[in-house]
Each structure stands twice: as structure tokens, then as C-alpha cells.
Structure 1
Amino acid sequence: MGASVEAEQYGKDIVVLKNLVKELHPDPKTQPKVLGPSGYYDEKWFNSFLEVSGHDVVDGVTHHIYNFGPGDDPNMITKIQDPSYLNQVAQTYKGVLNIVNKYLDPLGMASNYNHKVFCRQTLIGGNYALLNTTTSIPNPDYYGGSKDREEYHLAALAGNIPGQIMLLNDVPMVPTETFNIPAMEPKLINASTTISIAAHSIVYVTIRDFQAPACA
């Protein structure tokens, strides 16, 4: 739409919102959180917004990320396999991390200095929804975000990366006859064995009861 709100004005508005939330919900235990600004990440804008809003106003910093555009780029497959292009995505998260680190007190000392929640915006509609807009059948992305040493190997059917059918451990992920989501069963692998990852695939691995103090 091309519309935007200046960081200073947004900061002042969110202070008003925070005060309204406190007035309507005086009990801190049931008081809704105030999140923002939920826009495209721009370091200068975010810095100004947080400086104006001040401490104890924003409970969580949120932002949108569209490094791959609206999802209809014909060069998408090339880009997602290009490390140099993926580094641009990493830089966005790093930039947000640097800003949030300056406001740890108002954002909560419980934070581990990283992003706590990642949400998919669209269930259906647009070019990056979890469900196919026409058939309502889950797109491959749906299975990619639903995983719990168990191994889940995700790959495109017949190597057709832009296709609509995802293989999970060589089993096609398609709705059942009653249109239910198919069971997503893992491979049960001995934890002492190596993990083999095929080209153009994604693998999720869970090693049960694995203790790694360095990662705690």
C-alpha cells in the first residue's frame, strides 16, 4: 500500500496503547502483552521506535521478514540454494538481535537474546500459505513446520521441488480419504549411526534423552 507511520509517532502511540491496556486490565497476571511494531525490519526505524516508547512498554519486539518476496519469484529455487542469498536472511535476524540486546530490561531478563517465536502469517490465501488456496490441501510447508534419535526426512516427490507433494521418509504426504492429515511417523534409528541427508532434502532429527550441557 505504500503507507507508513514514522517511528516517533508509532512509539508515542504504543505508549498510549500500553496505558490503555493497564487501565482495562489492572491485574498484571491477566494483563495482555503489548507487542510491536510488526513491520519490515529497518535498524534506524526500530532504534528510534524503542527509544521513544521507552522502558516497560513493549513486551516483545516483532517484525515481518520477506527476504524471498511474496512467494511468486520464478527464481525462488535458485535463491533458497544460494548460501550468499541466505546470508541476507541471517543478517536481518542478527540486526534485530543487536537492537533487542540494548533493551533487555524492558523486554524481560528471561530472554536468551534471541527470537523466541516464529509464526507463519497465512493459513490459506496468497503465495506462501500453509494450505492450497484452491483445494485446501496442505502445501509442503505444512509438513515442514510440524515435526517433533527420531528422523524425519522431507523431500520433493520425484525430485519436483516446486511440486505440491512432499515425501516424509519416502511416504507421500497427501490427505486421507476422509481428508484428514496423514500420520507423520519418524524413522527410528540407532543414535550411534550416522545421519545421511539426500540432496535437496530437509531432515529433522531428535535424539531422545541426549544431554549436552554446553548447549543448555
Structure 2
Amino acid sequence: MGRALLFLSCWIFLLGWIHECGSAAAAAAVPGRSKFLAEKIVAKAAAVEINTSNTIWRVSEGFLCATLDWWPAEKCDYGTCSWKDASLLTMDLKHPLLENAIKALYPLTLRLGGSLQDRLFYKVGRSAQRPCSNFVKQQNSIFGFSEGCLNMSRWLELNSLFQRTGASVAFGLNALNGRQRVSKGVYSGSWDSTNAEDFIKFTHDSKIAIAAWELGNELSANGVGTTINSRQYATDVKSLREIIDGIYGDQIDRPMVVAPDGFFVAAWYQQLLQSTGPRVLDAVTRHIYNLGAGVDRHLIQKILSPTYLSQEAGAFKQMRDTVSRYGPWAQAWIGEAGGAYNSGQHLVNDAFVSSFWYLDQLGMAASHSTAVYCRQSLVGGNYALLRTNSYNPNPDYYSALLWKQVMGNDVLPATVVSETYLRAYAHCAKSNSGGLAVLLINMSNSTVYSVRLKLSGFAKSSKGSSRTPRLEYHLSAPLTDLQSQRIHLNGKLLDVTPDGNIPVLKPISVDSKQPITIAPLSIAFVVLPDAKLQACTIIE
């Protein structure tokens, strides 16, 4: 390692503390040391290879997605009740910060669903005279709650919010309606679609835009609460397709049909696709809670373990290959991903440390041909992007916002050379034709990486200008406290403005000839606006 690299700068301001550089053998003392940082901090060179000849995938415009759930305030896990008024039936739809937060992520896909969608009926049509009440605890019932009800006045209020914010909606329908419970965890019979059909028709006739209708939640293979066999599920999905075709006809903006929103088992998904056949399912969805239970004391260690996080790559690949082979007409979606199940863990899944998992997931999903990735949740539980009731953003909200602002839809292959704790993902830049955007994640607690980008496969003789400064967005936790619910951007605290708006995320400009310096336990988005990549050039 040359001295020019080791002495990149005598003082680097990245994490809210000042790091004094030294030689390779010596490490600097760090004032106000965090318990998450190692005793010795070293500098190290690293390289990221990016093949720019062709893009490998294009995510959908609505790739970034978040969920809204039906859980009432009485939903508790491990003695903690974290949902409060986050239910779709009770949340404050006129809170200005909620509205501004959704607008800032435009175009955001919102998936409305969760376990209790399969206990929900719609007070409309042939069910208009049924008594309508909220979910209440019921010990011996599936999911531990009684049946609940969505009345049409609330449905119109919800859609007023979606229309004001430009959100795209995927609605999860009750797939257990009409089935008979024969024993604990076992339901038999076919889906009774009459209530769903009345609801879909009301929605269509009310000119409410729906991007997708989804059938069921976590009822496939290793289902939660109960399981439906794949052939019966295929029959029910075909019924939903017939309803959609009958109501929407040949509309250009006809909603997609999506299923099963469950946990992935290749044989079950294969059978579903083979049994439905072409022109039935438009997207196949699975859920991810790869960190384990929300009560797990080792969540932070899992999040900061590259080896542990990489295990999910196998599931992404298997899902991609299953859809490609047995249902090439369908997209692959992540319909729900909260990291840790049973509402997550406070000061982990709602803290800065979660962004290492979340952004790695977004990068991994996009590089494995995933069209949409839905985060559980926008509001509610301990894994939400926004804090329950106040709607103040948690760190992952700002991470999502930067992804939306910087990373374009076209994905490029990126490889980190020989460094396990440094992750890299590359896309065409969002707002610069021909530009390059790179996400760098430093999971090391002891290494300041000095990163060089090695671009190959140029389709043009000109490789772009090195004179144009690159743009950098460095995310870090205040005082490197990974359990903080606050976040720094380039050393400055991000917070909503006094008038309740989401702050503007501004980069710093850096000489493109210099390597990218990324501090321990931090994340950086880097944009080369003048890369002039033909694969990323928009032809007018």
C-alpha cells in the first residue's frame, strides 16, 4: 500500500467524529469511541469491479415498496405492543408528515395486507348488511383475533390518501373466505370469492386505481396458521383472474394478479405456476424474515455478518430460477420483508444498524431479477420506516429515500475484490443519462476503506470525464451508535423541517481522481454523473 493512499487526507469527516490518519501499522485513537468500533482503526485499499457493457436487469418503476397492515393496537409480541394506531382501520390518514413521507418516495408501491387480511370481510354488496367491527383478541381463533371488517367509507378515505400522494396500491384479498376449519391449522374447501368480487367491483366502479390484487397471505407450503395445497391455490387464483378479466375487461391499466405472498418452497411454487399456466399470475411473491425472531439477542451480529446475509442470495437465485423456468410470464416480487418476524426488535430493526441489512437486501434483490421489494412496514411494529403515531422517519426511511433518489432502475454487475466486509451494488444513475450510481456498505468496525472503481466493458471509446466531480452521500450513526434512531448524512443530522417536510438530501462533491473513502460501519452512495456509459444512456 503506497504512502499516497495511506495519507489520503490527514483529517476525514465522515461519521460525526474526526479520524486522524496514520501509517498502516499504527491506528488512530478515536475520541468518543463507540462500543461498536474496534480498538484499532486501520486504512486499507479496496477495489470494486463493475462491468458496464450491459445491464443485467431492470427493476420496475415501483421497485421500492412498503406495507401497511391490519394489526390492531392489541397485537403484542414478547410483552411489547408496538402497533398502536398503525392499523389500516385506525391510522391517522390526514397526518401531514405521513403524507409528505409517502410523497417523497414517489412512485411508492404500497402493499395493503398481512396475516389479518385472511380474517377481513368487506362491507359491500351481498355483505353490506353484516355487522362491521374491528379486530378483537380471540384466543382460539387463527392468528389470535376475531374477524374484522373494512367498510367502504374507510376504503374511500384510504384511497384519498393514496391519490394525494401518488402511491400505487397492491391489495391483499382474504383467501380463507368460505373454507372450513377442520382442526387447528387445517382448512379445507375452495375459496368463496363472492365478497372479494363485490369489493373489486365497488373499487372499479368508484374509479379507484389498483395496481395489483393479491390472494392470501402466508398460506403456501410452510404457512403461518394454516396451509393450502398448491393445486387448490392455483384453482383459486384462476377464479381471481376470471373476476379481474370480467370486471376490468381490456382496460390498459388492468390490475395485476399476484400470489401467494408466502414463504418460498421451490416445489410448492413450481406446482402453483404449472397448475395456473400462462396469462393467470402476473407476479409471484415470497416473504423474507431471514434474521429470525424479533426477540433474538443476536440480531445485530447477524446484520453485521456478511456471511450470514449472503445466505439469502441462494433463496433469491432459487426464486429467480423457478419463475424463469416454470412461469417466465410472471415477475418475482418480495411481498413482505421485515428482517425479524413478530414485529421486529426496538432499537435494532428501527435503528441505524438495520440499514446495513435493508440496503443489502435491496441491492441483492435487484441483482437477482426481482421486480418489486416490499418493506414491512411503512408504519407499525418495530421494523417500520416511520415511527408509529408520530410518523417521524427512522433511519431506514432515509436509506430508502437515498436509494430512490440515486439508484436507477437498470442494474449493473458489481464485484468487490477480496474484501468480505465491503459490499457493493451498481445501477445506472437515476437522474443522469449515462451516469453510474454505486452503493457501498462497510460492515467492518475496524477498517477505513479507500475504494477504487474499476470500470470495464465500455461500449464507447470515450470513458467519460474524470474532471467532473463525483457526488457522495455518506450515511452514518451519530457517534457510531448503531442502535440510534437518528442518522447523519455527510456528518449532518437528518430531521424533518420545522414545517413538517422531509429534508432535501444533499451530496458532497469530490474530485473524481481520488479514491472513495468509506469509514467503518457506514454506508455510501456514490454517483459518477459524467461516466458516459452507453448501457445507461437514454436515447431521446
Same fold (TM > 0.5): yes
Match of 1:143 in 2: 398
Unaligned runs of 5+ residues in structure 1 are none
Match of 2:11 in 1: none
Q: How far apart are residue 193 of structure 1 and its match?
A: 2.1
Count of residue pairs the alignment pairs up: 213
What secondary structure sits across from 1:36 in the alignment? strand
Match of 1:86 in 2: 309
Match of 1:121 in 2: 376
Corresponding residue to 1:179 among 495, 500, 524 = 500
Match of 2:529 in 1: 208
Aligned partner of 2:376: which letter? Q
Q: Write the distance in 2 (CA, Å) between the matches of 1:5 and 1:13.
A: 10
CA displacement 1:65-121 (0-9 Å, x = unmatched): 11123555332211011122112221121111111111454227xxx9711121223
Q: How far apart are residue 7 of structure 1 and its match?
A: 1.6
Cα distance change on mapping 1:73 and 1:202 into 2, 3 Å:
farther
What secondary structure sits across from 1:30 in the alignment? coil
> Residues 104-115 of structure 1 correspond to what in structure 2 (within 5 A)?
105-107=328-330, 114-115=369-370
Q: Say whether the 8 Å CA contact 1:175–1:182 is kept in structure 2.
A: yes
| Structure 1 range deviating more: 119-128 or 62-71 | 62-71
User: Per chain length, whose mean CA-contact separation is higher, i.e. which structure has more relative contact order (CA < 8 Å, sep 6+)?
Assistant: 2
Q: How far apart are residue 176 of structure 1 and its match?
A: 2.5
What secondary structure sits across from 2:260 in the alignment? strand
Q: Say whether the 8 Å CA contact 1:101–1:113 is kept in structure 2.
A: no
Q: How far apart are residue 41 of structure 1 and its match?
A: 1.4
Q: Write the distance in 2 (CA, Å) between the matches of 1:76 and 1:29.
A: 45
After TM superposition, which residue ranges in structure 1, 4 or more long, deviate above 3 angstroms?
69-73, 211-216
What secondary structure sits across from 2:285 in the alignment? strand
Q: Say whether the 8 Å CA contact 2:472–2:509 is kept in structure 1.
A: yes
> Residues 21-40 of structure 1 correspond to what in structure 2 (within 5 A)?
21-40=244-263
Cα distance change on mapping 1:207 and 1:103 into 2, 3 Å:
farther
* Alignment of 1:52 onto 2:275: yes
Q: Say whether the 8 Å CA contact 1:72–1:127 is kept in structure 2.
A: no
CA displacement 1:6-27 (0-9 Å, x = unmatched): 2221111111111111111111
* Alignment of 1:19 onto 2:253: no
Unaligned runs of 5+ residues in structure 2 are 1-142, 144-224, 332-366, 407-469
Aligned partner of 2:475: which letter? L
Percent identity for Structure 1 against Structure 2 = 36
Match of 2:515 in 1: 194
Q: Say whether the 8 Å CA contact 1:71–1:128 is kept in structure 2.
A: no
Match of 1:8 in 2: 231
Aligned partner of 1:125: which letter? G
What secondary structure sits across from 2:272 in the alignment? helix
Q: Write the distance in 2 (CA, Å) between the matches of 1:20 and 1:194.
A: 56
Q: How far apart are residue 177 of structure 1 and its match?
A: 2.5
Q: Say whether the 8 Å CA contact 2:274–2:327 is kept in structure 1.
A: no
What secondary structure sits across from 2:516 in the alignment? coil
Q: Write the distance in 2 (CA, Å) between the matches of 1:84 and 1:113.
A: 18
Match of 2:360 in 1: none
Q: Write the distance in 2 (CA, Å) between the matches of 1:68 and 1:56.
A: 35
Q: CA RMSD in A?
A: 2.2
Aligned partner of 1:170: which letter? G
